[in-house]
């Protein structure tokens, strides 16, 4: 095996690489016919995530088709609560369902010791995928991930998706001992899980904080910045040079403090943020990633090119990774993804 320089890892670590590396959140998923075929072989989504052969295949599907610079582990952020002992189902059309966590007893019953055994299949997916990338796509880097503690807590407390996660925010405000205890346990487990992912072959890791934007600046500091900083510090103790990407979705102006205080190498930027302003708020040592509107990708053509061009113009000369501002939408034509990759590579 020769030495390969992976452009994505350089960009994640704050080097300006141009044209910028590209990968897409939810690049594996229902918009790909080969994913739908693979997915149809397993009835429930949790079993699919825990099947290393199929999960590895799903990870590689978009790489074979489009040759992205990054392959993201095929799994889900809710596999961690499942491994901690919470039941998890994905019902067609309803998204995830878990039993809501609302009491001290339920908190104390979380299996923080020994949960890692339950995610053995995910670690096997990483090993398999890394070996297959080395053989077939040596320039593509493998990205591991977790949900950030606040976002994982949102799903655990609420018991599934929600527009505003009112029960979660109520608990955070009214029962801080319970909520802080939950954030603490998720943080601890996330450190263990990410270290195991890195040991299995993940070359970068990402923390998805999809609901970070629901919080006030004070709560954001406590439930987003502090736990994220703790995870970053713990990982860096063992792996000082591993790229760590944080994605505080819809954080608005709070993203500046996130970039400064968490220690992430690169910050993901959501669709609603103006990259020209973000650029001014974030130190140039922190890479940025984002933020094409998934609906521009869905539309394709001129609309997509114009929006992509504006992003590239705003980020020129700065460490940057091209991505969407949120995940690929299921009705997206795969040809639009191929076109986007060509367009960005043509810069």
Question: Taking Cα atoms as reference points, which of 307, 266, 310 lies closest to residue 288?
Answer: 266
Our answer to whether residue 26 is catalytic in this structure is yes
**159 φψ region: left (φ > 0), alpha (ψ -120 to 50), beta (else):** left
Q: Is 28 annotated as a binding residue?
A: yes
Known binding residue 293? Answer is: no
Contact pattern from residue 131 through residue 150 relative to ligand CP3, giving x for each residue in contact according to CB under 6 A and a dash for the rest: --------------x-----
Residue 180 in marked binding region: no
Q: Which stretch binds ligand CP3 (CB under 6 A): 19-27, 174-182, 192-200, 336-344?
A: 19-27
Q: Which of 51, 76, 209, 293 is catalytic?
A: 76
Residue 47 annotated as lining a ligand binding site: no
Rounded Cα gap, residues 323 and 321, in angstroms: 6
Q: For the segment 185-214, give every residue that binds ligand CP3 (CB under 6 A).
A: 208, 210
Question: Which position among 8, 17, 78, 207 is part of the footprint of ligand CP3 (CB under 6 A)?
Answer: 78
**Nearer CB in complex with ligand CP3: 213/305:** 213
Q: Which residue of 192, 327, 334, 345 would you call a contact of ligand CP3, by CB under 6 A?
A: 327
Q: Which stretch binds ligand CP3 (CB under 6 A): 28-36, 165-173, 178-186, 295-303?
A: 28-36
* Cα 161 to Cα 144: distance, rounded to the nearest angstrom: 23
Q: 90: which residues sit within 8 A by CB, 6+ positions away? A: 44, 45, 46, 96, 97
Based on the shown chain and the rule CB under 6 A, indicate whether residue 25 belongs to the binding site for ligand CP3: yes
Strand segments (E) across the chain: 70-72, 89-91, 95-97, 141-147, 204-209, 244-248, 266-268, 287-292, 320-324
Q: Does 82 sit near ligand CP3 (CB under 6 A)?
A: no
Q: Which is nearer to ligand CP3, 245 or 312 (CB)?
A: 245
Residues 231-270 contacting ligand CP3, CB under 6 A: none
Closest distance to ligand CP3 from the beta carbon of 49 (Å): 8
CA distances from 242 to 5, 10, 13, 63, 228 (A): 14, 10, 8, 22, 15
Query: Considering the complex, what minimum distance in angstroms separates the CB of residue 74 from ligand CP3?
Result: 5
* CA distance from start to end of the chain: 30
Out of 7, 86, 130, 155, pick the active-site residue: 155
3-state percent breakdown (helix, strand, coil) of the chain, nearest 5: 55, 10, 35
Dihedral sign (CA 317, 321, 326, 328): positive
Nearer to ligand CP3, 301 or 333 (CB): 333
Site string for ligand CP3, 271-310 (x = CB under 6 A): ----------------------------------------
Q: Based on the shown chain and the rule CB under 6 A, indicate whether residue 30 belongs to the binding site for ligand CP3.
A: yes
Question: How do 70-72 and 141-147 pair as beta strands?
Answer: parallel
Return d(Cα 141, Cα 196) in angstroms, integer: 17
Count CA atoms closer than 13 A to 296's CA, side-chain side: 21
Binding residues: 26-30, 76, 155, 210, 326
Binding-site ranges for ligand CP3 (CB under 6 A): 25-30, 39, 45, 72, 74-78, 90, 95-96, 145, 161, 208, 210, 327
Which amino acids are annotated catalytic? 26, 30, 39, 76, 155
């Amino acid at each position: 095996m020769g030495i390969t320089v992976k452009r994505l890892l350089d960009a994640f670590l704050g080097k300006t690489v141009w044209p910028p590396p590209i990968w897409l959140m939810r690049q594996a998923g229902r918009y790909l016919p080969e994913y739908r075929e693979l997915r149809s072989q397993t009835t429930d989504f949790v079993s699919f995530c825990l099947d290393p052969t199929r999960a590895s295949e799903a990870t590689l599907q978009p790489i074979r088709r489009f040759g992205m610079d990054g392959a993201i582990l095929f799994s889900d952020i809710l596999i961690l609560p499942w491994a901690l002992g919470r039941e998890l189902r994905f019902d067609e059309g309803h998204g995830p369902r878990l039993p809501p966590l609302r009491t001290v007893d339920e908190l104390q019953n979380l299996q923080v010791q020994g949960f890692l055994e339950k995610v053995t299949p995910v670690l096997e997916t990483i090993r398999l995928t890394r070996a297959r990338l080395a053989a077939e796509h040596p320039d593509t880097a493998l990205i591991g991930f977790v949900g950030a503690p606040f976002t994982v807590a949102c799903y655990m407390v609420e018991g599934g998706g929600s527009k505003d996660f009112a029960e979660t925010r109520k608990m955070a405000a009214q029962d801080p001992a319970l909520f802080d205890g939950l954030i603490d346990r998720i943080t601890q487990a996330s450190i263990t899980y990410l270290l195991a992912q890195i040991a299995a072959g993940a070359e970068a890791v990402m923390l998805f904080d999809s609901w970070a934007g629901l919080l006030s600046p004070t709560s954001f500091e406590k439930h987003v910045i502090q736990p994220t900083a703790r995870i970053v510090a713990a990982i860096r103790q063992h792996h000082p040079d591993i790229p760590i990407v944080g994605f505080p979705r819809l954080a608005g102006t709070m993203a500046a403090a996130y970039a400064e205080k968490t220690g992430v190498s690169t910050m993901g930027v959501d669709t609603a943020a103006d990259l020209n302003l973000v650029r001014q708020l974030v130190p140039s040592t922190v890479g940025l990633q984002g933020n094409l509107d998934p609906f521009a990708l869905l539309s394709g053509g001129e609309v997509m090119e114009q929006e992509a061009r504006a992003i590239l113009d705003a980020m020129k000369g700065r460490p940057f990774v091209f991505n969407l501002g949120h995940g690929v939408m299921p009705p997206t034509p795969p040809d639009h993804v191929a076109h986007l990759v060509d367009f960005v590579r043509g810069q």
